[in-house]
A = this chain, B = another copy of it.
Amino acid sequence: MSRIYNFCAGPATLPVEVLEEAQKDLVDFRGCGMSIMECSHRGKEYMAVQEEAIANINELLNVPDTHEVLLLQGGASGQFAMIPMNLLPADGVADYTNSGAWAIKAIKEAKNVGQVNVIADCGKDVPTRVPSPDALQQTPGAAYLHITSNETISGAQWKTFPTSEAPIVADMSSDILSRSIDVSTFGLIYAGAQKNLGPSGVTLVIVRKDLAAAGNSTIPNIMRYQTHIDNGSMYNTPPCFAIYILALTTRWLKNAGPEAMYKQNVDKAKRLYDALDASAFYTGTAALECRSDMNVTFRLPSEELEAQFAKESTAAGLMQLKGHRSVGGLRASIYNAFPTDGVDALVAFMKDFERANG
């Protein structure tokens, strides 16, 4: 078996130790005579898995008692609808910040539900960036303020979060558990799992309990946060296998030490940004103060060279470096489980490529 370096933006690299444990247990889960996929979601085998997943999240993020950890389905795209359905009253307004493609999706869906104020818009800025937290013209009495913590496509990341009198709602799909955050300062945090948490198919939501309780109670039960709080994320049958992998991945992070992991993330990103800055051949896409530690985006002198770079890096076992189809360029996604060795291999490839084509 030859594992390649997978720079995919998500679904993304998982810790190989997690995959090996899942492989060992796949047909006979911890000696119970069934796969974890075959276990009743209300049986002791699976219940222990889900409890561990939620306990790991609580511990890693130091989630206060004021907040509830939920494991749902539907991804960030599902949350784009659930958030305004729950938290945006018919006579209210929600503030949204436009930082790029994912923020735009959140805004579009919220507008299907209620009144939205886009209070900062740098979605088309070049270099790519997120709004400055100090420059937000917030709406007095807004139901909430929505931000996209990290823009996977543009490679721009909030380095300092804004303050607000309204609850802050943050899409952390692509940087949850990659750095230290203070959960108590957020009204709601959500994240599709398929970058730092596990495979696709499960969505982490951390919601302030009072906000969930005060949410619109006339919407369908499946869309209500309170429903899922009341039922311990088992209102409907959970995506058991995805949650099992999330439990193993968060256990791996606990064992690795989250603070060490966060330092390593900064270090991995710095190696790539240093390589970009040391060369006139490569140009980072994001404004310096907004450079993402998760998705390092860059351009080459021409689209032809970018296509050649993508092709030759793939042949060299450095996979999925092609930028998102909507923006082009190159992108290296380097979440928690992506190894430093792979970053170094990319830096070496970049130097070789520049020497041959610069």
Residues of A within 8 A of B (CB): 1-4, 6, 8-14, 16, 19-20, 22-23, 26-28, 32-35, 37-41, 43, 46, 73-78, 80-81, 85, 108-109, 112-113, 192, 194, 198-202, 218-223, 235-242, 245, 317, 319-320
A241 & B113 in contact (Cβ 8 Å cutoff): no
Residues of chain B contacted by A222 (CB below 8 angstroms): 74, 77-78, 80-81, 109
A11 & B37 in contact (Cβ 8 Å cutoff): yes
A235 & B77 in contact (Cβ 8 Å cutoff): yes
Q: Determine which of B3, B43, B75 lies in contact with A33 in the assembled complex, contact meaning CB atoms within 8 Å.
A: B3
Cα(A14)–Cα(B109), bound, Å: 37
Main secondary structure of the interface of A (DSSP, over half): loop
B37 & A237 in contact (Cβ 8 Å cutoff): no
Known: A11-B40, A33-B4, A201-B201. A239 touches B242 (CB 8 A): yes
A320 & B237 in contact (Cβ 8 Å cutoff): no
Q: Determine which of B3, B28, B81 lies in contact with A3 in the assembled complex, contact meaning CB atoms within 8 Å.
A: B28
Besides the known contacts A6-B38, A200-B239, 17 further A-B residue pairs in the complex with CB atoms under 8 A apart: A1-B28, A2-B33, A3-B33, A3-B34, A4-B32, A4-B33, A11-B38, A23-B27, A73-B74, A77-B221, A77-B222, A78-B222, A112-B220, A200-B240, A201-B239, A201-B242, A239-B239
Residues of chain B contacted by A223 (CB below 8 angstroms): 81
B39 & A11 in contact (Cβ 8 Å cutoff): yes
Residues of chain B contacted by A194 (CB below 8 angstroms): 237
The smallest beta-carbon distance between A229 and chain B, in angstroms, is 16
The smallest beta-carbon distance between A249 and chain B, in angstroms, is 10
The smallest beta-carbon distance between A308 and chain B, in angstroms, is 20
The smallest beta-carbon distance between A176 and chain B, in angstroms, is 15
- A10 — nearest CB in chain B belongs to which residue? B237
B200 & A81 in contact (Cβ 8 Å cutoff): no
Could you list 17 A-B pairs, sorted by A, with CB under 8 Å? A1-B33, A3-B27, A3-B34, A6-B34, A8-B40, A10-B40, A16-B27, A19-B27, A37-B198, A37-B245, A73-B239, A77-B222, A85-B220, A199-B239, A200-B237, A201-B202, A241-B245
A43 & B320 in contact (Cβ 8 Å cutoff): yes
| Most chain B C-beta atoms within 10 Å of own C-beta, residue among A75, A218, A236, A238 | A236
The smallest beta-carbon distance between A85 and chain B, in angstroms, is 7
B200 & A41 in contact (Cβ 8 Å cutoff): yes
- 5 closest A-B pairs by CB: A201-B239, A81-B220, A77-B236, A4-B33, A37-B199
A73 & B201 in contact (Cβ 8 Å cutoff): yes
Q: Determine which of B76, B77, B199 lies in contact with A240 in the assembled complex, contact meaning CB atoms within 8 Å.
A: B199
